[in-house]
Amino acid sequence: MYFYAARQPIFDKDKQLMGYELLFRDGVDNVFPDIDGDEATSKLIEGSQFNFGLEDLTDNKPAYINFTLDTILKGYPSMLPSNQVVIEILETVQPGKRLLAAVQELKSKGYTLALDDYKHQKVWRHFYPYIDQIKVDLLITSDEEISELIDATKEYNNIKLVAEKVETNAQFEKAVALGFSYFQGYFFAKPEMVKSKSLPPSEMALAELLYETSVVDVDIKKITSVFERDVNLSYKLLRYSNSAAFKRRAEISTIKQAVVVLGNQELKKFLSLLFAAQVSSEKPIELIKLSLTRARFCELLAQRHKGIQDTGMAFLVGMMSLMDAILDESMEGVMKKLPLSNLIKEALVHKQGILAQYLGLIKAYEQADWVLTGEYCERIKFDNDALPEIYNQALAWGNEQLQIMECV
């Protein structure tokens, strides 16, 4: 499942980019869906938490996001970093004591606040000390109304006016002359569609567990608590730890027991496999098999080479090496979503470090590029003759794990 959004740039009078307004979409059609403002805001915030970083979507510029009264009172704005977002109070929100208190609190926390599609009412004067921007729709706002607004806000130097629906150069020049500071509209750019593969909460829990098992000092209590929050993951962990492959003498009956008995290395393998299987449900089974084979190949290579102390990290690099293909986006974008160690990200995104060397060697071997394989072996001082045995072991392990997972 994909997450869709659109963004429209906002410029200053020198036509320098100041930020983007983010607009929720529910598909590839670049139009606002037939849903209410609360749902649109909720889905947009959910997407920013689970599918993309705001900085990715806005090129590190502020993200303008619409909020209804209900979403403001529920505290949704505080889920976003204050330095990355402009809170737009929708035109449907009526000024009142509850909104004023919420606005004052947001301002005290460092948030930038804007009134969207503003219609002048004297009651808004109570909000002016806390408002940073007022957005005005030029197509439906008369010159007289604009003059009234300018007069009402002239003593508030904190307020900048934003001209919306600027569709011609003449409108832009007129808005500049009237005193507007920022500008948005088709004259500059139409909303641009962006999409990101959506990771459900269970997959985010898996990503969290992958991170927790990739650090040096593993926190068993924290790992156990993450499992205990997800019934489905707990069930699969217990099934996996009790599978015939481990030949246990006694059954494992608690989450903590399963985590401890499996050990960090086996737990990493289980989580990596489960993550790859879940996010690639719409992909060919061969993609999962190749991920498994690479993971084990990389781990065995690290164990023989002894170039890294924690060989479980090598396993994760091999498993994650196909995430860009699985999620249909760049590896850099994928890694920004996953809280993995920097060593793993350096290997996968920047192709740096010993883990990147392992992965490069594995890819060369997969493609039967014997010259490049030899160059990698020489570079890391590894015996080329050991590769066939390691590869065969990795293939066998991958097939075995797929069979186990079919039963989990």
**Where are any strands of DSSP class E within 187-295?**
192-197
- CA-wise closest residue to 148 among 182, 116, 119, 181: 119
Closest Cα to residue 132, out of 174, 168, 161? 161
Average pLDDT, the chain: 78
**What per-residue confidence (pLDDT) applies to 314?**
86
Assign 50 a pLDDT band (cuts: 50, 70, 90): very low
272 Cβ contact partners less than 8 Å away, ≥ 6 residues apart:
210, 295, 315, 316, 319, 320
Percent share of the chain, pLDDT over 90: 23
Burial track 267-306 (b if 16+ CB lie within 10 A, e otherwise): bbbbbbbbbbbebbeebeeeebbbbbbbbbbbbbbbeebe
Contact (Cβ atoms closer than 8 angstroms) between residue 11 and residue 188: yes
Task: Dump pLDDT digits (tens) for 198-236.
Answer: 555 566 677 777 777 766 667 888 888 777 666 667 667
What CA–CA distance (Å, rounded) separates 207 from 199?
10
Nearest to 73 by CA among 87, 61, 59, 57: 87
* pLDDT at residue 19, as a whole number: 86
pLDDT recorded at residue 300: 93
Domains belonging to the chain, first-starting first, are: 2-197 (3.20.20.450), 201-407 (1.10.3210.10)
For residue 126, give Cα distances in angstroms to 58, 84, 91, 107, 157. 31, 26, 16, 14, 15
Instruction: Please give the model's pTM, rounded to 2 decimal places.
Output: 0.48
Residue with tokens 């307004």: 21
Stretch 125-134: mean pLDDT:
93
Confidence class of residue 317 from pLDDT cuts 50, 70 and 90? confident
Lowest mean pLDDT among 87-101, 119-133, 276-290, 364-378: 276-290
Whether 305 contacts 384, CB under 8 Å: no
Query: Looking at 13-22, 200-209, 315-324, 342-351, which range is the least confident one?
Result: 200-209
Classify strands 63-67 and 85-89 as parallel, antiparallel or unpaired: parallel
> In the structure, what pLDDT confidence band is assigned to residue 354 with cuts at 50, 70 and 90?
very high
What is residue 192's predicted lDDT score, i.e. its pLDDT? 45
Task: Classify 329 as helix, strand or coil.
Answer: coil
Residue 377: pLDDT over 50: yes
Asked whether 335 and 205 are in contact (CB, 8 A), the reply is no
Which region among 67-71, 173-177, 282-286, 341-345 has the lowest average model confidence (pLDDT)? 282-286
* pLDDT, tens digit (0-9, with 9 covering 90-100), for 170-191: 888 889 999 999 998 876 655 5
